[in-house]
Structure 1
Amino acid sequence: MSMLGFVRFIFILLSVTGMAFSAVAESLPRVLLLNSYHPQYQWTKELTRGVQETLASSIPMENLHIEFMDERRFADDAVYKTKLVSLFKHKYQQYSPDLIITSDDYAYDFMIEYGDLLFPGKPMVFSGVNVFKPETLQGRSQITGILEGMEIIGNLELIKTIQPDVKRIVLLGDTTGFGRGMTDLAREVKASWQADPSLAAGVSLDIWDKFTLVELHQRVAELPTGSAILVLAIHKDSQGQYFSYEEQLPILSQISKVPIYGMWGALMIGKGAMGGLMNDPFEHGASAAKMALAILDGIPIAQLPIKEKAAFTPSFDFALLNRFAIDRALLPQGSKLVGEPKSLYQEYGGLINSVLLLLTFLMLVISVLLTNIRKRIAVQIQLDKLNRELEFQVQERTQDLNLRNSQLHDATINMRQLAFTDPLTGLSNRRAGTVETGAYLSRFKQDNLALSVAILDIDFFKRVNDTYGHSRGDEVLISFARLLKATVRPSDRLYRWGGEEFLVLFPGADIAAATQVCERLCHTIASKHFEGVGRITSSLGVTEASLDDSLDSLVSRADVALYQAKQQGRNRVCIGERAP
């Protein structure tokens, strides 16, 4: 058993017994999965899932670091690449991986350029590389992987086979770095067809790589019957607008009068592409993860040569085959049809056969034992009936009890809320204020932290009621309460003390801090225009608690200060001095 295998066994043992395995996880290898694209991109999502599921039995998921470089949105952005280098350099100084897996061309090229700087001496397994240049690996013995490749020629032959009347095939790409690599290969294929008419067999090839999305829609809509579209890779249009396969491909399929083919299975099938020789990203990611595990198990990279090409399987959308009247007899043998309706027996044939066999056996057993168990069955039926009746009664009573408990619980909550909440303003009421102020005063005497109290009264509120009516007075009280809540500090407590009086509790605030808030309240209220009434003012009395205070003495001192504010002309704050 290899060392990694032994540690893996210990990891599984600790997981089963429920013991903490953080120390073991720390000793297991760390793997970095560096994705070229964003996590919502279906290809990247499925490839990542293949890596995760393959590594899951050998490496804790916390030891698998996953990065998404978002290159489709930031194609050929040098500034963004520089920031990624700085980010990874800082991030993986502390969490240095033992091996790096890359997905797709951008991450591969990034590691070729910066791998020695960021992860010197670390082995790398690449996957999903379409445009591969062998010279980039000269002098790099720690790199292997799987070439995704491109099945351009294979798909062109497939199109000619299942569309015998095709006269024109349009290959779609773009001018980003990755897109140019694919369109360059497409131009080589086109040149070989032009040089050897027998390859073309009367079919012309067009390459579209410079267009806006609007222009692409127009040109696709104008393609005549007898044409076909093969999507190479599109990241952005000529104006830099991002091309989303999730959003744009269904639109292209809807407006196109001709079939759309592609090579990237999970990304395109079911999204508007009729089909093609397609690669499975999940299997691709799983294969790369298996190579990574082999390296971590101690197998030299020299014994793991680069796989020249991923598997491309003929896959087709059943509904689109019908839409374009494709003869299914022309499809390659072993083609996968996505969305093909299946009969019940096709889908569950094995289960149905097993059930039928079991039923036959049970009928035989029943026929043999029937005469001996009739009385037993009758007794059992009666017993089952009694059990059901008993269970029903228990369930009925349990449900009734649960209902009553729920009603009692709701009633308790409502009563408590009514007991401690002012129904008009929604503020805590005097009862709540008395309880909470007493509690804060007790805590103040234990911790000796500052505590201040203020009583606030609306000036001449009786005039409001007499002049505008009690309904308008209630509206003023509601607006006034909202204004107070918006003005006091988050830590302050606010209560409707009675009528037009309000009590403000300032936990942790000495008289200076409390007075500052009171002045702000006084100014804010005086500046407010109350609908239907105009401007009103308020008077405030504020005082700081002392160790000798009781609840009554503290509130009484604030009330005396309020009275002083009224006597001095209202619309002001007066301080109730503590006894020396």
Structure 2
Amino acid sequence: MLCRKAVLSVCFLLLLMPASGWAREMKLLILHSFHAGFAWTANQQAGFLQALEGRAGAASVDLRVEYLDAGAGTFEPAGFDALFSHFKNKYTHFVPDLIYATDRQAVAFLHMYGSRLFPTVPVVFSGLHDLDLDTQLNPDRFFGTFALPDIGATVDLALRLEPTLKELHFVGDDSVVSRGLRSYVRREVARYYPQVAATFYDSPRLEDLAAHLADVQPGLWVVTSLVGVRDKHGALVSVAESLQRLSASGRFKILAMEDIYLTPGVLGGAMNRGAEQGWLAGCLAREQVFNETLPDNVSLLGNTSRSYLFDYLQLRQFGLSMEDLPPGSSVVNQPRFLWKQRGFLSGVLIGLVVLQLGFCGF
């Protein structure tokens, strides 16, 4: 009897243990630079979690998500001390297996305080524009993908749309991202298109940006970053609202380099996609942190591939067709064309004719 009870007890304990190679719950901490609900942030997280879904050895994920609400990029090391104390108290009894960080401020914070909070926990990041920060990161703990825009493709597109272009205007919110991109853009433009001069105007004030564009009337300009734009009362303005207001300052072809800026009023551009950034970071985590061998068709590049995306209404406004765009371009916000509706109506009419003929035959 005792032997039978012992066997039953062992079997019961075995049933309580996780299956699939003794898999256990993976603890994941995600640290975002920006606020909850921001599309670029949400898309990166969705792509990252999708890439982790097929990871071997993880029965489920214990997920914790934090937002730094960086806004215009003003959340800098001066505010990191308070954040460190907050996280130190909050995560005393939670040690993640992996940390996923999006964009500069989150990566900078973990660079400064990560070893004191979670000394041995690896960090995978995406959305980083700052190559200088990358050189300071510990390569044994930090792995990631970069959101550097394809300046060559952007200038090439600008010249395709405006063949006589001599000056290309870049407009931003004077944030860490927009300021950090200036030297990179200047270098890339001078390297590949010396006949084109790159000029920059940055301000966190929406009124200043609108007044500048109304005064200069560049005809074509490029968005660098508009995440930190504020109105005259100091309230943060959404990306979509900012671009709608700026596009009303003149007749502009507005190009963007990230998919979150493809909002009403923006023509399109050679863009990085947030979801792809996150997905590649998830694949990188599986390969570098969890030592998985991924299929050959999964390319883990330091810079994600760019996609040519365009808005249908803006193409119509400027009289542009697919022939005017780079090969492989995609167009969003296309209406349901009449031929599709006519196809349905034609089917109905044919059916009615057949029924009428049938009745006539009788």
Shorter-chain TM-score range: 0.7 to 0.9
CA distance 1:164–1:142, shift in 2 (3 Å): same
Structure 1 position 35 matched with structure 2 position 29: no
Higher relative contact order (CA 8 A, sep 6+): 2
Pairwise CA distance, 1:221: 2.1
Question: What pairs with 1:218-297 in structure 2 (closer than 5 Å)?
Answer: 218-224=211-217, 227-236=219-228, 242-265=236-259, 267-295=260-288, 297=290
Q: Counterpart in 2 of 1:104?
A: 103
2:34–2:70 CA contact under 8 A, matched in 1: yes
Specify whether residues 188 and 331 from structure 1 end up closer, same or farther in structure 2 by C-alpha distance, changes over 3 A only.
Answer: same
Shift of 1:154: 1.9
8 Å contact from structure 2 (residues 227, 239) kept in 1? no
Match of 2:136 in 1: 136
Q: Is the 8 A contact 1:187 1:207 kept in 2?
A: no
Q: Which amino acid aligns with 2:131?
A: F
Aligned residue for 1:230, secondary structure, equals strand
Q: Which runs of 5+ in 1 are unaligned?
A: 1-5, 12-23, 350-354, 356-580
The aligned counterpart of 1:54 is: 51
The aligned amino acid for 2:130 is: V
Q: Does the CA-based 8 Å contact 2:175-2:204 persist in structure 1?
A: no
Is the contact between residue 283 and residue 300 of structure 2 (CA under 8 Å) also seen in structure 1? no
Distance in 2 (CA, whole Å) between partners of 1:8 and 1:317 is: 48
Quick one: distance in 2 between partners of 1:31 and 1:149? 26
| Equivalent position amino acid for 2:265 in 1 | G
What does 1:57-76 align with in structure 2 at a 5 Å threshold? 63-72=62-71, 75-76=74-75
Q: Give yes or no for contact 1:220–1:256 (8 Å, CA) kept in 2.
A: yes
- Post-superposition CA distance 1:49-81 (Å, at most 9, x none): 222333346557761211111111562444432
Distance, in Å, in 2 between the alignment partners of 1:296 and 1:29 is 13
Identify the residue that residue 150 of structure 1 maps to in structure 2.
149
SS at match of 1:222: helix
What residue identity is the alignment partner of 2:280?
Answer: S
Deviates more, 1:97-106 or 1:80-89: 80-89
Q: Is the 8 A contact 1:34 1:67 kept in 2?
A: yes
Q: CA–CA distance in 2 between the matches of 1:82 and 1:317?
A: 43
Does 1:182 pair with 2:148? no
Structure 2, unmatched stretches of 5+, are 1-16, 348-362
Question: How far 1:187 sits from its partner (Å)?
Answer: 3.3
In the alignment, structure 1 residue 325 sits paired with structure 2 residue 316: no
SS of alignment partner, residue 43 of structure 1: helix
Q: Which has the larger radius of gyration?
A: 1
CA distance in 2, matches of 1:62, 1:53: 12
Percent identical pairs in the alignment equals 25
**Residue 309 of structure 2 contacts residue 331 of structure 2 at CA under 8 Å; is this kept in 1?**
yes
Q: Does the CA-based 8 Å contact 1:103-1:129 persist in structure 2?
A: yes
Amino acid at match of 1:156: V
Q: How does 1:563-578 map to 2 (within 5 A)?
A: none
Q: What's the counterpart of residue 214 of structure 1?
A: 207
Structure 2 Cα separation of the partners of residues 236 and 112 of structure 1: 23
For each residue in 1:323-379, what CA deviation from the matched residue of structure 2 results, as whole angstroms up to 9, or x when unmatched?
1223431211110101123447779x9xxxxx9xxxxxxxxxxxxxxxxxxxxxxxx
CA pair 60-346 structure 1, distance change in 2 beyond 3 A: farther
Counterpart code for 1:88 = F
Could you tell me how far 1:295 is from its partner in structure 2? Answer: 4.5
What does residue 328 of structure 2 align with? 334
Whether the 8 Å contact between 2:202 and 2:209 is mirrored in structure 1 is: no
Contact (CA 8 Å) 2:33, 2:105: kept in 1 or not?
yes
Deviation at 1:261, TM superposition (A): 0.8
Separation in structure 2 between the aligned mates of residue 309 and residue 114 of structure 1, nearest angstrom: 26
Deviation at 1:10, TM superposition (A): 7.6
Contact 2:169 2:200 in 1 (8 A): yes
Q: When the two structures are aligned, how many residues end up with a matched partner?
A: 325
Contact 1:172 1:231 in 2 (8 A): yes
The alpha carbon displacement at 1:46 in A equals 1.4
CA distance in 2, matches of 1:270, 1:74: 22
State the secondary structure of the residue aligned to 2:149. coil
Distance 1:119 1:337 in 2: 44
Q: Which amino acid aligns with 2:33?
A: S
SS in structure 2 at match of 1:93: coil
CA distance 1:73–1:173, shift in 2 (3 Å): closer
Conserved 8 A contact 1:173-1:183: no
Native 8 Å contact 2:28 2:61 kept in 1 = no
Written as runs of structure 1 = structure 2, the 5 A alignment for 1:395-414 is none
Distance in 2 between residues matched to 1:306 and 1:106, nearest whole Å: 23
1:132 corresponds to which letter in structure 2?
L
Corresponding residue number in structure 2 for 1:205 = 198
Cα 1:333–1:89 shift into 2, 3 Å: same
Q: Equivalents in 2 of 1:49, 1:299: separation in Å?
A: 21
Mapped partners of 2:317, 2:84: distance in 1: 48
Superposition TM-score, scaled by structure 2 size: 0.77
Structure richer in helix, relative to its length: 1
SS in 2 for 1:315: strand
Q: What SS is found at the alignment partner of 2:92? A: helix
- Aligned ranges for residues 417-432 of structure 1 at < 5 Å? none
C-alpha contact (below 8 Å) 2:73/2:177 kept by paired residues: no
1:320 is displaced (CA, Å) by 0.6
* Deviation by residue 1:274-326 (Cα, 9 ceiling, x = unmatched): 100011111221221222234554349xxx99732111111000101111223
Instruction: Give the Cα separation in 2 of the matches to 1:98 and 1:211.
Output: 38
- Tell me, what secondary structure is at the counterpart of 1:333? coil
Indicate if the aligned counterparts of 2:41 and 2:274 stay in contact, CA closer than 8 A: yes
RMSD: 3.6
Name the SS for the 1:28 alignment partner: strand
1:97 to partner: Cα distance? 0.5
How far apart, in 1, do the equivalents of 2:94 and 2:85 lie?
15
Structure 2 counterpart SS, 1:285:
helix
In structure 1, how many angstroms separate the alpha carbons of the residues matched to 2:147 and 2:211? 32
The 3 A distance-change label for structure 1 pair 332 and 217 is same
Letter in 1 for 2:142: I
Distance 1:280 1:211 in 2: 24
Distance 1:271 1:94 in 2: 46
The CA distance in 1 between the partners of 2:286 and 2:19, in whole Å, is 11
